[in-house]
Amino acid sequence: MKSKNIVWHTGKISKAIRQRAYGHKSAVIWLTGLSGSGKSTIAAEAEERLFTQGINTYRLDGDNIRFGLNQDLGFSQADRKENVRRIGEVSKLLIDAGIITFASFISPYAADREMVRNLLDDGEFIEVYVKCDLAECEKRDPKGLYKKARNGEIKAFTGISDPYEEPENPEITVETDTMDLEECTEKIIQYLRENHYIS
């Protein structure tokens, strides 16, 4: 921290008060996986399911955040770490606001994801491993990025020329090459129900 003369100001409406008023807990559902594995697709679907049930939700998505807040960051290991750190901090604010947040980021480094887990209270970080075979992701190639990575047009592309560290103990794993979108979405919502985030 650079600033020394700062003092936390506590408001009158706490996270607990917000959660009681909203009738559900708040947490970040952190979707990690290869490009094209289905993180954004699943987040959008699950968010719609929850929002239409009256639950306060929001979505943070890798590319979208790089258009704005993180437009100064690239894809080096240090920048990926800073990308994840900032999203972790934004997630923490949204959780404080009582919102169930979906964060869809490749987030290839286990240590960076762990940093976010440690930033949050127990139970507030729900890691979802969106698992999909690299060959299947490459076949889907929804943004044409694998093609560019194979051509050498994109350097440091996760799965091709940059590492992806699989989660060791994710709260949820969805396998998008064997489960359809509905099954993946339902598995996440089921977890939220069973663990009393929502009723």
Neighbours of 23 (CB within 10 A): 12
Bridge partners (DSSP) of residue 31 are 104, 128
DSSP letter at 37?
S
Is there binding between residue 40 and ligand ATP (CB under 6 A)? yes
> Could you say which of 41, 56, 70, 91 contacts ligand ATP (CB under 6 A)?
41
Give the separation between CA 131 and CA 119, rounded to whole angstroms.
Answer: 25
Residues 1 and 7 sit within 8 Å (Cβ to Cβ) = no
Q: Please count the residues of this chain forming the interface with ligand ATP, following the rule CB under 6 A.
A: 21
Instruction: Single out the catalytic residue among 14, 35, 107, 161.
Output: 107
What angle in degrees, to the nearest 10, is found between the helix axes of 77-96 and 15-22? 70
Compute the least distance from the CB of residue 42 to ligand ATP, in Å: 5
In 3D, which of 85, 74, 81 has the Cα closest to residue 157?
Answer: 74
Residue 161: active-site member: no
Q: Which of residues 64-103 bind ligand ATP (CB under 6 A)?
A: none
Give the separation between CA 178 and CA 107, rounded to whole angstroms.
Answer: 22
> Could you say which of 97, 115, 179, 189 contacts ligand ATP (CB under 6 A)?
179
Part of the chain binding ligand ATP (CB under 6 A), chosen from 50-58, 91-99, 120-128, 140-148: 140-148
> Could you say which of 106, 116, 172, 188 contacts ligand ATP (CB under 6 A)?
106
Compute the least distance from the CB of residue 39 to ligand ATP, in Å: 4
Is there binding between residue 42 and ligand ATP (CB under 6 A)? yes
Residues, the chain, total?
A: 199
Residues 50 and 100 sit within 8 Å (Cβ to Cβ) = yes
> Could you say which of 72, 122, 168, 180 contacts ligand ATP (CB under 6 A)?
180
Q: Which of residues 48-107 bind Mg ion (CB under 5 A)?
A: 104
> Could you say which of 25, 26, 32, 38 contacts ligand ATP (CB under 6 A)?
38
Part of the chain binding ligand ATP (CB under 6 A), chosen from 9-17, 21-29, 38-46, 146-154: 38-46
Token pair, residue 88, equals: 């972790």
